[in-house]
Amino acid sequence: MNNKNILYVYDKLLVYIKRVANIVSGLAMITLVFSFAWLVYGRYVLNDTPTWVEQLSLLLVITISFLTAAVGIHERTHLSVDILTQMLPVSGQALVGIAADIIMAIFGLLMAINAVDLAEFAWSKKIPLLGISDATRYFPVIISGSLIFVFSLDRVVRTIHHLTRTKPISQENN
């Protein structure tokens, strides 16, 4: 398998992971909407409020927020302020972009590592009214941190590769 095939498979894998994260986030959003519909129906029609909805909604919001944040890093749609970067020359923009992506990769790695520690600590506790391990709250954070790490490092490698593959305009005419 040559380098082009490996890169093609790697690109497809990242796109597949991104799609899975989007699908999981979407399913969590649908579940959140239906659980709140059940909450309203139970409260106002049945006069019996389902109390488990609050705990489930917290778990779903964590899942939605963290997974979509990781996807935002991959798609470069995550909130950012680029005014300083845009004021720099093109070479400076690339260096600031690389530095920002390295910082994001470190942040994602630390987020995943610390979430693993929190999950281990909370493993024996149960989420009230749901009866599942409290560590479940940290799974989306672990996955998201890992994805942020991978997606950010991918951006660094691609930027460096792009910089080394392109010649400055002054050298192209020689």
The first and second tokens of residue 83, run together, are 């005014």
| CA neighbor of 78 nearest in space, from 151, 140, 157 | 151
What span, in angstroms and rounded, lies between the C-alpha atoms of 85 and 107? 20
Residue 37: the pLDDT is: 92
Q: What is the pLDDT along the chain (174 residues), one digit of tens a residue?
A: 677 788 888 889 999 999 999 999 999 999 999 999 998 998 888 888 888 888 999 999 999 999 999 999 888 887 666 677 778 888 788 888 889 899 999 999 999 999 999 999 999 999 888 889 999 999 999 999 999 999 999 999 888 887 777 555 444 444
What span, in angstroms and rounded, lies between the C-alpha atoms of 149 and 126? 29
What is the C-alpha radius of gyration for the chain, rounded to an integer number of angstroms? 21
The first and second tokens of residue 137, run together, are 């709250």
Residue 170: the pLDDT is: 46
What span, in angstroms and rounded, lies between the C-alpha atoms of 157 and 155? 6
What span, in angstroms and rounded, lies between the C-alpha atoms of 28 and 60? 6
Q: Answer for the pair 98, 161: CB distance below 8 angstroms, yes or no.
A: no
Residue 138: the pLDDT is: 96
Helix, strand, or coil (residue 126) = strand
pTM: 0.84
